[in-house]
Amino acid sequence: MTASNDRPWLANYPAEVPAEIDVNKYRSIPEVLEASCDKFRHNPAYMNMGKALSYDDIDRLSAQFASYLVNDLKLKKGDRVAIMLPNVLQYPVAAFGILRAGLTVVNTNPLYTARELKHQLNDSGASAIVVLDNFAATLAEVLPQAPTVKHVVTTAIGDMLGFPKAFITNLVVRHVKKMVPKYRIDHEVRFNDALTLGGMGKLPKIDIGHEDIAFLQYTGGTTGVAKGAMLTHKNMVANMLQAAAWLGTNLKESREVVITAIPLYHIFALTANCLVFTLIGGVSVLITNPRDMPGFVKELSKVKFSVITGVNTLFNGLLNTEGFDKLDFSNLRLTLGGGMAVQRTVAEKWKKTTKCTLVEAYGLTETSPAACINPLDLPEYNASIGLPISSTDVCIQNDDGKLLGVDEAGELCIKGPQVMRGYWQRPEETAKVITPDGWLHTGDIAKMDEKGYFYIVDRKKDMILVSGFNVYPNEIEDVVASCPGVLECAAIGVPDEKSGEAVKVVIVKKDPGLTAETIKEYCRHNLTGYKLPKIIEFRDSLPKTNVGKILRRELRDPPAPAAKTA
């Protein structure tokens, strides 16, 4: 390919950004970690609730946890270990420990229902799990139906905060706020005890290379069944280097303070905040409960942060929280938005309040995630997802696979070293999205301008995006259809001021007495909060094709006058 014809974006790269990165610079994430720990040993790496862990601490503690997994649990290279934690200091220790042991991290949403958790544990074949006490009751319910899970490591929110803060925090969480439901898990091991046990042994040298799987990162992909994207060490190292090449144009090594409010189990924060800032020696400030906006603003007031990443809803929430506009933004050099479309009104208000441009990027779980990003010195929001990052090819294709030209809308396709190996144990699903020559079909409709900037136009698939999280209609419909009294149903996304989109379910009743509240209560027991239907509508029938397939798109139109709504 040539820059003038096939890669017009290269002519518009910031001067310091290379066209290609050297993915062979590191063989694995542990190699990156060890290099950073040697280089930045005495610098803070992670902060949470006023407690800081240095790079030396992360090096020592993650090695102890790796030793525990290998020597005490006898886990073998390639075994899967699930992490079910919010943003607490235990997360980086556990994740880096799992990776250093040659194992695969299975990131698990702590808010999963028992049904969702069971699917992920069984599908991944996880041998062990690290879980916060607050969510252990859900795990306890699932364990009898998750036969591969032989080891459970439990921990409390305050466990790594040091005495007396750890004791006080855990006391308040468990006994004052009563945030830990009762549970019973036989033979559980406490996280701190696991670290102590691991410290008694020595981690053997484990050969970890590019093709080993670092993460099974679950996503719905193009259908509603959650699938594990196999992200290899090569995928992740490549994306770390690609992102660092762009960040290096605006940020300084070992000096940046990044606010990490997006959960680390989400691919955006995992790579952008956890891994990339480890590579450049920054400190990540972990926000455990960003939904508590006043508490979030209070945490922001305690640090002079230089970077904040988030989704549109998070930025909008901060802008509408009392006291945010009074914070000190003098050090803020980068605000990075991803996970969902950034709204112009939010971006403009953010720039006015913070004097920092909200820069939009684009990626997918399947691309580790970064694929496109705007120049970081962007003077103002431009509604674009930016330029393809180093070593990345992006094109627009029509339904027949024909390449489209400038300003022609079609499917966005991506090729690069960050594209996943495929979906875990699902070769047929993999073949649907990755061509034999390596192009990933994203399912997003986009167009490219003459300078190589890309713009998302629409989504080809019916996926619903709620606050940056993928919600798949098939999954919602499967749950709702199993509720007594439902004859037929369909789920769609509708615009929502707070979350970008919300879930709407249209139902044909079997039982005339069925109510919207009954549906919502049933869903609460089977779906994570962000997947819950916000709008329930009843109709006499659903629009269908001549072969009986429900036409979701037609459901976005107003119901016929005779329809009954609730």
Q: Tens digit of pLDDT for each residue in 231-256?
A: 999 999 999 999 999 998 889 999 99
Residue 360 domain-assigned?
no
pLDDT score for 313? 84
- 105: containing domain: 52-208
The C-alpha atoms of residue 482 and residue 495 are separated, in whole angstroms, by 26
Residue 499 domain-assigned?
yes
Residue 86 domain-assigned?
yes
Give the residue from 160, 191, 208 where a domain finishes: 208
* Angstrom distances, CA of residue 233 to CA of 92, 344, 418: 16, 36, 10
Residue 494 sits in a domain whose CATH number is: 3.30.300.30
551 confidence band (pLDDT: 50, 70, 90):
confident
pLDDT score for 557? 67
Picking from 363, 317, 320, the residue whose alpha carbon sits closest to that of residue 340 is: 363
Residue 133 sits in a domain whose CATH number is: 3.40.50.980
220 confidence band (pLDDT: 50, 70, 90):
low
Residue 520 domain-assigned?
yes
Give the residue from 173, 208, 243 where a domain finishes: 208
Residue 129 domain-assigned?
yes
Residue 171 domain-assigned?
yes
Give the residue from 186, 208, 230 where a domain finishes: 208
Q: Tens digits of per-residue pLDDT, 310-346?
A: 988 899 899 999 999 999 999 999 999 988 778 888 8
The C-alpha atoms of residue 266 and residue 278 are separated, in whole angstroms, by 17
Residue 271 domain-assigned?
no
Q: Considering its fold, how many domains does the chain have in total?
A: 2
What's the rounded mean pLDDT across residues 141-169? 97
Picking from 139, 177, 142, 182, the residue whose alpha carbon sits closest to that of residue 157 is: 177
Relative orientation angle of helices 191-199 and 90-100, to the nearest 10 degrees: 40
Residue 544 domain-assigned?
yes
Picking from 367, 341, 339, 362, the residue whose alpha carbon sits closest to that of residue 440 is: 367
